[in-house]
Structure formats: C-alpha cells, structure tokens
Amino acid sequence: MPFLRQAPGPLAQGQRAQDRSERADFLFDKQLGIVYNTIMKRCQIVIDTNVLVAALRSKRGASYKLFMLISSGKFTIHISVPLILEYEDVAKRLLKDIPLTEQDIDDILDYLCAIAQQQQVFYLWRPYLKDPKDDMVLELAVTANCDFIVTYNKRDFDGAERFGLGVVTPKEFLERIGELL
C-alpha cells in the first residue's frame, strides 16, 4: 500500500500517546488517518525433553528446525534448573547413538541457558499428571505464563488446558508461527 509508511524510531520518554504514529512498531495511513499497531506478541513456550532428543538424533525434522529458530525472535523458550538437568541427563545417555560429543552437548545446553528465560518454580502441584517429570514441565509452563508446551507426547499433558496452556507438537508449533506451510 503506497499510503502506509513505517514511522521511524521508538517513543521518547514523555512523548504523548497521540504521537504513536512516530513509533517504529506502528504503521500510519496518512490518507485515512489510521494508525495500525504492528506489535506482535512472541509465543512463550516450554520444550519437552523428547523434542530435544528428536533434534539431537536428526537434522531433518521439525524438532531440529525448532531448535534452529530459537534465536530468531519468533518465540521465547523458558527453562528451569530441573529441566536443564533432565535435558543433560537424557542427552548424555544418547551419546553412543548420536554423532555428538559430551562437549557438544554441554555447548548446546550452555547456549540454551544463555538464550532462554530462566524461571524458578516456587510451587508444586504434584502429582497432577501421570509422570512427575511431566509435572515439572507443566509447573514451569504455568510459572512462566507460557502459551504452549511443545512435545511429542501430547497425551501426557491431558489437563494442561485447565491452566490456559496449549499442548502442541513441534510441527504444529512451527505451523502456528508461520515456519511450516
């Protein structure tokens, strides 16, 4: 649309709300005098351990693509100390089956710790789900106010919807964020 322009720069402190058309996250249609808000909320997610395992085993699937998009800004992942310890335990048990070294696993986990939002879980609902390790993922997702738990074991999270959480596979999540058509 030739009438739409993206306004330069963010609002300066003290600028009035009517000056929103000057922000980079708004589009202003001069002909119609309409300001469009272009801010998109990033999805907040927790990634179940089985998705990490699938990504480590193969570079061809949705899990691998999901991990390759972690720093894209399209979503935010949340972690906790217990989840990272589970990732580490499971990943290192796979070393004989995957073409990675222990140092590679440590580097991947360090990267996840650096880029993810770290959460402390102060309350427990255990047992809520069948598997206590799944309870840990659910508790993290609720604490972090996440939108989704990304897992291949959707049945294991029956009841998560009561907490306002969606439970999706990596492929379904990638479709939701426009990375798979």
Written as one letter, the residue type at 93 is: R
For residues 14 and 50, state if they share a domain. Answer: no
Q: Are 78 and 144 a contacting pair, CB within 8 Å?
A: yes
Q: For residue 181, is it within any domain?
A: no
In tens, the pLDDT along 106-162 reads 999 999 999 999 999 876 666 677 777 789 999 999 999 999 999 999 999 998 999
Q: What is the pLDDT of residue 129?
A: 78
For residues 19 and 96, state if they share a domain. Answer: no
Which structural domain range is residue 81 located in? 43-176
H helix intervals, 6-163: 49-57, 62-68, 81-93, 102-115, 132-143
Q: For residue 51, is it within any domain?
A: yes
Q: How many domains does the chain have?
A: 2
Which residues does 126 contact at the CB level (< 8 Å), separation at least 6?
A: 132, 135, 139
Q: For residue 108, is it within any domain?
A: yes
178: left (phi over 0), alpha (psi -120 to 50) or beta: left
In tens, the pLDDT along 18-39 reads 444 444 555 666 777 776 665 5
